[in-house]
Amino acid sequence: MAGRIVVVAQQKGGAGKTTLAAHLAAYFAGRGLRTAAADIDPQGSFTRWTELRFNARDGQGLGFGFAQLSGWRLPTELDRMSREHDIVIVDSAPHAMTDSRTAIRYANLVLVPVQPSPMDLWATGPTLALAREERRPSMIVINRMPPRSTLASDMVEKLNALEAGVCRVALGNRTAYASSLGAGLGVTEFEPGSTAARELAAAGDDVLAALSR
């Protein structure tokens, strides 16, 4: 059976799309899944992180497959990667570019990171609409939740009205996510016993559960 393709997409910039994609790739690889990642964002932030990771791991490679893709190669390469791996994480562009739409068309799940504010939720509408147009399931991941914060009841209602799944774990606004990426690692590798690592692992497990449904 072909591997599952997870596209991390968000048309609004600054939601933590690349951060989520990188941490999930490291986590899934650490769990022993044959993992690959694809960077289709012209900004190339994920690609630059893999260069840092390669050097940080001192000859051990990335621990997962990787390709920077665009244009006509994208469908063919996504198909190849899904045949050779259990899971493929795609970091897409922050706007409705052709490559992002193509990747979503091939996705088994579209992950949409959202910061916990009404304006961020409103801005998420076009991303979710694109997933619906392509008839792909989507899951919202609340990202950068402030410490000791809870989602207000009206925010919960707005989330439930978006016709998308919601990850059962919100990722906190924690320095461990950025500091681990700065070291070329995922947070589950850098600080495995931390709250951030437990959050990320639980979110990753929720993604796997959604893919198995």
Across the strands, what pairs with 67?
A: 38
Residues 15-71 pLDDT 10s: 899 999 999 999 999 999 999 999 999 999 999 999 999 999 998 999 999 999 988
Mean pLDDT of 65-80: 92
Grade residue 96 by pLDDT with cuts at 50, 70 and 90. Answer: low
Residue 37 — φ and ψ, nearest 5°?
-135, 145
Higher pLDDT, 167 or 59: 167
Select the CATH number that applies to the domain covering 4-212 from these four: 3.40.30.10, 3.30.420.40, 3.40.50.300, 3.40.50.2300.
3.40.50.300
Residue corresponding to tokens 């910061």: 115
Judged against a pLDDT cut of 90, whether residue 156 lies above it is answered with no
168-185, pLDDT tens digit by residue?
A: 998 999 999 999 999 999
| pTM for the structure as a whole | 0.94
For the CA atoms of 192, 187, 138, 157, the dihedral, rounded to the nearest 10 degrees, stands at 80
CA angle 85, 86, 89 (to 5 degrees): 80
Instruction: Work out the average pLDDT over 99-104.
Output: 91
Distance separating alpha carbons of residues 9 and 15, to the nearest angstrom: 10
Strands of the 165-166 sheet, one edge to the other:
65-68, 35-39, 87-91, 4-8, 109-114, 138-142, 165-166
- Taking the domains of the chain in order of start, what are their residue ranges? 4-212
Does residue 1 have a pLDDT over 60?
no
Six-digit token pair at 13? 């910039």
How high is the pLDDT of residue 152? Answer: 59
Q: How many CB atoms lie within 10 A of CB 135?
A: 8
State the CB neighbour count (10 A cutoff) for residue 65: 18
Mean pLDDT for all residues in the chain: 91
